[in-house]
Structure 1
Amino acid sequence: MSSNSRTHNSIRNVLLGSFNQAVFLSLSFATKTVFISQLGIVYLGINGLFTNLFVLFSSIEFGIGIAMMYSLYKPLAENNKEKIGALYNFYRSIYRNTSIGIGITGMALFPFLKLLINTEVPVAHKELYYLLFLINAVVYNQFIYKSYLIIADQKKYLVSLYYMLFEGSVFILQIITLLEFQSYSIYLALVIFKTVFYCGFLHFKIQRVYPYVIDKKGEFSKKDKITLHKSAFNMIVYKVSEMMICGTDNIIISVILGTIYVGYYSNYEFILQGISSVVALIFASLAASVGNLFVDNDLNKKYQIFHLVQNLNLWVAGFMTTGIYLLSQSFITAWIGPSYLLSNQVLLIISLNFYLTVMRDANKMFRESAGLFDKMKRVIVLNAVLNILFSVLLGLKFGMVGVFSATVISGLLTSYPFEAYLIHRDYLRKSMKTYLIMQAKGAVLVVMSVMITGFFMGLDIGTGWGSFFFKVIIFGVISNAFYFIMLKQTDGVQFLICTGKQLILNQLSK
């Protein structure tokens, strides 16, 4: 595939991804609203708990999927159909074994449902709900590998479009059936329905566009198989560890505090996921350029780009964290009422964790482009272990504040500093002094942004949607103006200004 084709596909991936995300969030918001009104907070908590378990199961699949995509990039670029077919069928066998493992693990957890689901009033049919979730996880992990062939072929926009069509259809059906039957079982059955038909559609597309992967089974040498197995295993360890850092909070909250609190948190989680998807699109648009940068041996150029991205990230992370902390309570109050609010102390820790996560996204992008996976693997595992240990200990002592604080503390002790250290030592070959000053500056700026923006938003203007949107306008103007003033001399903002001027001049010259 030519460079122009890759660039064109990258742009198309980002644009269609943005559109799909907007549609997904809109339909997801509508479905969640109906879910809460028809089934209530207890079922919302159960759904959040089981979704967390599903994410943990899927982390195994995601790890293998990344290894599969990396191995397919070169043969797809070279149109080596023999090797593409061999790799496709090799990973198909791994996915089958993984699905069996997930099924066995899921059934092994079955006797512990009473421990996981912690409610004051017994919940009927919880065993059925769990089985429906498990069936969906097994089916999904059995067949989702087909999508990675299409993604590796630089056509992620197609996978996004296909998934959105099926997901959107099921959202609409879930809304209708919830309003008509108020049945959680039907709600979950529709998820399985979507997964089966989506995977079946992918199978049809693979047969039609890549028929040679069905015919060309191919074989690898023993040495190649060992290498592929090792790569897949390493990615599984890595992704499972990552998911254990961010994907076990609901489980621990449910066991220690009660499943109902998972329901309360899931509303904030919905906000975080929506904003995180925007951040992901921003970094997706930069990832290809950063990847090409590491082919270049110019250390000064690498450092300049790293510094530029970090400066831009100060604005992105600070602005969005300010919004989460100052607007989340107003949004939830206007949406479903004040009875669903968590304390401001919990929101503060959630916001801090979000800020650190986004600040790490820039490092993560450079680390993945630079191939620092092996050197980070043990640190990520340590981060996951410490997170679970601290979550239990602090959760028992301080409740939800303790559980979320554990994520912050474990990250600050392991992944956050070590990742930056590796990037500077092994690839930028620069001192971390400037980076550390920038991190301290970012922390001061986000505190100032919250205080200044919060001051202007402090007027009591009600609690409805009108009040919320008025606060959004104040927040958008004040926080952005603050960051522009504070960062306008940095290379990141100067780059944005120059790019904006160039775009305007190009339009005027047409």
Structure 2
Amino acid sequence: MQVVKNAKRNILFGFLNRVVLLIIPFIERTVIQIILGSQYLGLDSLFNSILQVLNLAELGFSSAMIYNMYKPAAEGNVLKINSLLNYYKKVYRKIGLSIIVIGLLLIPFLPFFIKGSHPNDVNITYIYLVYLINTALSYFLFAYQNSVAIVHQRDDIRSVVNSGVKIGLALVQIILISFTKNYYYFVAIMPIFTVINNLWLAWRVKKLFPQYKAQGQMALEDRISIRKLVAGTFIQQACSVTRNSLDSICISSFLGLSLTAIYNNYYMIINGVTTFVAIFTASLIGGVGNHVATRSINQNFAEMKKMDFVYLWIGGWCTICLLCLYQPFMELWMGNEMLLPFSDVILFCIYFYILKLGDVKSMYNSANGLWWEHRFRSICETILNLVLNISLGYLFGVHGIIIATIISLLICNYVWSTSILFKHYFCDIPIKEYYLYQGKHVVITLASAIITYSMCLLMPTDNIFIEMIYRITICFVIPNISFGLFYRNSELFGLVKKILIQK
């Protein structure tokens, strides 16, 4: 009962935290755009992208630490958890120092990351240093305590603290920038709230779990185990995290801060939709891991097809909504001067849909622990994305950079990743069977998108609010009717419909 209670609490507060993390950036970017302009938005996007790449030092380590804590936590082995926390603390300090050192070494190269002009009233080095301090600071202030809450199914603590601090920071930043119109104040307040976030979280964890203290020495075999896990997860997570960061850095370097801001406005929509769709996969990953351990390969492949059917229905519907609603929403939010061409909207939709095609498959890669097998694929995807970003971005601008990401996703993240899964797990099942049923989903989604978008064009109007309401209505109704008609004779449609009715 306690596990179920904790899970429900985590889901509730996790969902609320996702809503906060989705809405707050919209409000902040709107205020910056109205008061200061697009170049300031571009600076924010650029520095966040650079420091997100530097943050790769942490990727994989926290996941490995948490994984190693589950067993001693279940056994009540406080001494072992304390030694793990002590090791965790020491490594985090080294990570923080490495971020500071590498970040400082990048300062002479900052002008190369900005094409054309930047705001005259700010010193980009000073602003960058504040971002750098803000990123590194948390590694020195009890960040390791978060793992205790996660291991004991109390991730709701992090969600509540994170949401509260994010809302408080946004309110203070908006008030400061509204009254002073000074970007320095907007940035300078960030490290203060990072300190508040970490101290508040540490206090809550300490209050609930006073038995845990960062002390003692960890056994050599545990350190070896963690290093092996880190090596596999680091490379794979580094690839996904740097994907948009490299895009933003290349856009800023080739095209300037204003286009970087516009690109990231569009990307933030995709990221927001992805965040909510990810609730589906997050809720199923535990069950997938259990079934991989207890069921046959054929049973799991059949189950994967069912999940893919539901997920690609959701993903296809979201893609169609993006296609039809992107431009009117961006016009309402940022105005005509901050719009990309409709051709870029189509490319963003392809980008999003290719990501969704592989999400369910990725759960089976993770459930089978195939991180190490993916190491070369992840490295090649990052290199290919960077090379294509530079070449195509230089030739074709924003179009080229989005196309570069689509190509690297399709070749490495979809085709290569699929071949690894079928080579190491679904080895008795022909890979063409997977491609055939996914190809059917692609064709049906494309047909539904053409139908829906054509109907959206039937009501031309100069009133953007009326157009938005009309398009939202069309997007709720037409794609789902289209999917229902296309799939009505499908065996999977009958099975999923029966399961949903029973639930």
Which TM-score band applies after superposition, normalised by the shorter structure? over 0.9
Equivalent pair of 1:309/1:492 in contact (CA under 8 Å): no
Matched with 1:508 is none
Matched with 2:468 is 468
Matched with 1:119 is 116
Matched with 2:19 is 22
Q: Is 1:67 matched up with 2:67?
A: no
488 and 7 in structure 1: CA distance in 2 versus 1, 3 angstrom threshold: farther
Equivalent pair of 1:311/1:490 in contact (CA under 8 Å): no
SS in 2 for 1:212: coil
Q: State the shift of 1:15 in Å.
A: 2.7
Matched with 1:364 is 362
Matched with 1:172 is 171
AA aligned to 1:333 is E
Instruction: Indicate which of 330, 333, 337 corresponds to 2:331.
Output: 333
Matched with 1:162 is 161
Matched with 2:144 is 145
SS in 2 for 1:179: helix
Matched with 1:301 is 299
Q: State the shift of 1:18 in Å.
A: 1.9
244 and 193 in structure 1: CA distance in 2 versus 1, 3 angstrom threshold: same
AA aligned to 1:462 is D
**Larger deviation, residues 415-424 vs 140-149:** 140-149
SS in 1 for 2:59: helix
Equivalent pair of 1:308/1:491 in contact (CA under 8 Å): no
AA aligned to 2:265 is N
Q: State the shift of 1:277 in Å.
A: 0.9
Quick one: distance in 2 between partners of 1:170 and 1:122? 23
Equivalent pair of 1:10/1:154 in contact (CA under 8 Å): yes
AA aligned to 1:479 is P
AA aligned to 1:135 is I
Matched with 1:433 is 432
Q: State the shift of 1:485 in Å.
A: 2.2
Matched with 1:453 is 452
Matched with 1:390 is 388
60 and 462 in structure 1: CA distance in 2 versus 1, 3 angstrom threshold: farther
Quick one: distance in 1 between partners of 2:105 and 2:425? 44
Quick one: distance in 1 between partners of 2:109 and 2:58? 24
> Structure 2-normalised TM-score?
0.94
5 and 292 in structure 1: CA distance in 2 versus 1, 3 angstrom threshold: farther
Quick one: distance in 2 between partners of 1:15 and 1:496? 26
AA aligned to 1:451 is I
Which whole-Å deviations, capped at 9, do the CAs of 1:22-77 have from their partners, x for residues lacking one?
23333332222112101110001111111112222233323211111111122112
Instruction: Indicate which of 21, 45, 51 corresponds to 1:48.
Output: 45
Equivalent pair of 2:422/2:431 in contact (CA under 8 Å): yes
Quick one: distance in 2 between partners of 1:199 and 1:66? 19
Matched with 1:205 is 204
Q: State the shift of 1:298 in Å.
A: 2.3
AA aligned to 2:337 is S
Quick one: distance in 2 between partners of 1:461 and 1:97? 58
Quick one: distance in 2 between partners of 1:474 and 1:6? 41
Equivalent pair of 1:106/1:134 in contact (CA under 8 Å): yes
Which whole-Å deviations, capped at 9, do the CAs of 1:112-157 have from their partners, x for residues lacking one?
1111122335533211110110001101333433212211222222
Equivalent pair of 1:333/1:463 in contact (CA under 8 Å): no
Matched with 1:486 is 486
Equivalence map 1:279-290=2 (5 Å)? 279-290=277-288
Which whole-Å deviations, capped at 9, do the CAs of 1:429-486 have from their partners, x for residues lacking one?
3111221012211221222122100111002123423321221111111112112222
Quick one: distance in 1 between partners of 2:58 and 2:491? 39
Q: State the shift of 1:496 in Å.
A: 4.5
Quick one: distance in 1 between partners of 2:469 and 2:72? 50
Matched with 1:506 is none
Which whole-Å deviations, capped at 9, do the CAs of 1:307-359 have from their partners, x for residues lacking one?
11111122122111111122111101112211110012222211111111111
Quick one: distance in 1 between partners of 2:166 and 2:79? 34
Instruction: Indicate which of 371, 374, 391 corresponds to 1:373.
Output: 371
Q: State the shift of 1:491 in Å.
A: 5.6
Equivalent pair of 2:231/2:372 in contact (CA under 8 Å): no
Matched with 1:107 is 104
SS in 1 for 2:99: helix
AA aligned to 1:405 is I
Equivalent pair of 1:27/1:172 in contact (CA under 8 Å): no
Q: Is 1:85 matched up with 2:82?
A: yes
Matched with 1:33 is 30
361 and 463 in structure 1: CA distance in 2 versus 1, 3 angstrom threshold: farther
Q: State the shift of 1:489 in Å.
A: 4.4
SS in 1 for 2:401: helix
AA aligned to 2:430 is S
Quick one: distance in 2 between partners of 1:462 and 1:426? 56
Which whole-Å deviations, capped at 9, do the CAs of 1:175-224 have from their partners, x for residues lacking one?
22221112222212222222110001122123222333316x23233343
Which whole-Å deviations, capped at 9, do the CAs of 1:263-283 have from their partners, x for residues lacking one?
111211221121111111121
AA aligned to 1:343 is P
Quick one: distance in 2 between partners of 1:489 and 1:476? 22
Quick one: distance in 2 between partners of 1:120 and 1:267? 20
CA RMSD of aligned residues (A): 1.9
Equivalent pair of 1:55/1:247 in contact (CA under 8 Å): yes
Matched with 2:408 is 410
Equivalence map 1:122-137=2 (5 Å)? 123=120, 124-137=122-135
Unaligned runs of 5+ residues in structure 2 are: none
Equivalent pair of 2:35/2:181 in contact (CA under 8 Å): yes
Number of aligned residue pairs: 499
AA aligned to 2:18 is Q
AA aligned to 1:349 is L
AA aligned to 2:198 is C
| Identical columns (%) | 26
> Structure 1-normalised TM-score?
0.93
